Structure 1
Amino acid sequence: MTNVQELIELIALKEITPTQFEGLSSFVGSPNVFGGQVLAQAINAATRTITNKRVLHSMHSYFLEAGNLELPIVYNVSIIRDGGSFSVRRVTAEQNGLTIFILSASFQIIEEGYNHQVEINKSIKQPEELMSWTEILDQFGEVIPKKTKGFLEADRPVEFKPVELANPFNKEDLPAFTNIWFKLKGDTTNLDLATKQQILTYVSDYNILAAVMNRHASKAHWGNTQTASLDHSMWYFRDFDFDDWLLYAIDSPNAAGARGFAKGNIFTRDGKLIASVAQEGLLRPK
């Protein structure tokens, strides 16, 4: 999967019944199904049952089992409520009859109201000043740890440019935050809002636990720590386009009990806040 069109095809599920859908998986560097893929496909399934033009404004989910890349995933949608302003859907994802993931999503009529947002960090380096994952791999591939190198070598439809580039050989704790610019590969014109939200959800599962790992970088790394997304929540605020780089600003307020918590804001380059994300993940020292 190398461009946005292939990503859209992956997210767009096959309809089995009006409330049941089936999806396939794509390898992104992990032996298990990528969490962002399941998130995006589940949102696609929920959105397909919305017939009153309501717009997704939030979702909350739990990852229950690791997904098998070789098996299709079946998404079952329950229509929980269609109220005067809001519609709620519940989605379960299954493989071989085993529930691997659950999600609740809420949709709202388009309304006007009060408006404010947190400001983007205006002093942050711009994408043109930074190296992409591809460029980092090309320049430092011979010294990058094997697990990280294997992850970076996987084809993906999005390019990332980290603002803070840590040296993995410097065993020192880092601040519990990370900022990363991202941009889709391929033609992103004429995408409807629902499709853009599903793509943004897919991308939101990348990089978020790195902010937790940074705080313990003197002893913890991806090779000696068992990691997995446990839950994932997201709030969608404003319409946007993928025609320029977007900034994912992530920080980690807490780690305890072999779990790490991180939250992030996603901005357009001109500073419009389009979504916020929260996730708790497993960080178990091996």
Structure 2
Amino acid sequence: MSDQDAANLVALLDLEELDVDLFRGKQPDTVRQRVYGGQVAAQALIAATRTVDPGYQVHSLHSYFLLPGDYKVPIIYDVERIRDGRSFLTRRVVARQHGRAIYYQTANFQRPEEGLEHQDRMPDVKPPEEGVDMFDLMKERGSDDGLSSEWAALAVRWIGNSSYGLAEDLDRPSKTLLWVRIDGQLSDDPIEHLATFTYASDVSLLGAALAAHGSDPTNIQMASLDHTIWFHRPFRADQWWLYDQWSPSAGGGRGLSLGRVFTRDGTLVATVAQEGLIRPRTG
């Protein structure tokens, strides 16, 4: 991995402006027959940010994946300016291909201000240097499917999950711990860090819903249905952050996964939620 991989990711997330509030996003070279959800969410966030005064910062995004994306054609992002207030702004982004909506995102922005402060404590975990390279692990399990190439800009160190490596936790029976960072040097532009983090936030989150079951992911049909991020505090996506993932519920062919994101010094910087399809394959 290198700074070039990070630069390629930043370039992928950059958008061409077609008209007022209308943008076009590129597609990466990939051997996978689908569009990665984190890419669409990150590009949509960039589109929303392009319509907002720099004095505002995104504090949350909520999104739905409607249709599988076509990796062979660009994605069009249409931004609607829902609300412009003194403290808060709201944008809604529709991602379209072939004239159909494939993804919706609502992003909320706020002028920075002082307020009450508290946060959860970071779990006591091994440092990233003692973790296992997740892409090596996926190759060993035969579940890579081209992901290690597509996610070349990411460094991921797997610590363990409920089936292997973590102590039994009756309060959270299905969980996964891993360290993540953009594998290269990003600029000091905060939007670059927010967008690349959004891209990375989709990595393995739904898999936390399988952690209690010891399921082989190649035997599970998985697809993200929705994705939400709350940004609590600024941080650098190119420095290690702990992704503390757990699934409070699974049933009806769906799993819900939540994730707390901590910087290495224990600061809680984001919370992520995702529900997705986890349907055992038959036949």
**Could you say which residue in structure 2 is the equivalent of 1:148?**
144
Q: What SS does structure 2 have at the residue aligned with 1:89?
A: strand
Shift in Å, 1:26: 2.1
1:277 aligns with 2:269: no
Say whether 1:246 aligns with 2:241. Answer: yes
| Secondary structure of 2:115's aligned partner | coil
- The runs of at least 4 consecutive aligned structure 1 residues that moved more than 6 Å come to none
Displacement of 1:225 after TM fit?
1.3
2:48 matches 1:46: yes
TM-superposed deviation, 1:25: 1.7
Question: Aligned residue for 1:265?
Answer: 260
* Partner residue in 2 for 1:118: 120
Q: Is the 8 A contact 2:235 2:269 kept in 1?
A: yes
Offset, 1:28? 6.0
In the other structure, the counterpart of 1:171 is: none
Alignment pair present for 1:159 and 2:155: yes
Cα distance in 1 between the residues matched to 2:149 and 2:58? 33
User: Match for 1:249: what amino acid?
Assistant: D
Report deviation, 1:207: 1.0
TM-score w.r.t. structure 1 length? Answer: 0.89
The 8 Å contact of residues 63 and 229 in structure 1, kept in 2 or not, is answered as yes
Aligned counterparts of 1:177 and 1:28: Cα–Cα separation in 2: 29
Of 179, 182, 185, 1:184 maps to 182
- Distance in 2, matches of 1:149 and 1:64, equals 23
- Report how far residue 285 of structure 1 moved: 1.6
Q: Give the match for residue 204 of structure 2.
A: 207
Q: So what's the TM-score if we normalise by structure 2?
A: 0.90
Asked whether the equivalents of residues 57 and 111 of structure 2 are also in contact (C-alpha less than 8 Å), the reply is yes
Contact 1:28 1:156 in 2 (8 A): no
The 1:114/1:20 distance shift into structure 2, 3 A limit, reads same
Q: CA RMSD in A?
A: 2.0
Q: Distance in 1 between matches of 2:120 and 2:30?
A: 32
For residue 247 of structure 1, report the CA deviation from its aligned partner. Answer: 0.6
Which shows bigger deviation, 13-22 or 175-184?
Answer: 175-184
Q: Percent identity?
A: 39
**What is the rounded CA distance, in whole Å, between the counterparts of 1:66 and 1:214 in structure 2?**
25
Quote the Cα distance in structure 2 between the aligned partners of 1:29 and 1:177.
30
Shift of 1:243: 4.7
Unpaired segments of 5 or more residues in structure 1? 168-173
Cα distance per residue 1:136-186 (max 9 Å; x no partner): 46xxx5xx343336434545201100001767xxxxxx9400011012122
- Quote the Cα distance in structure 2 between the aligned partners of 1:213 and 1:64: 23
Aligned residues: 271
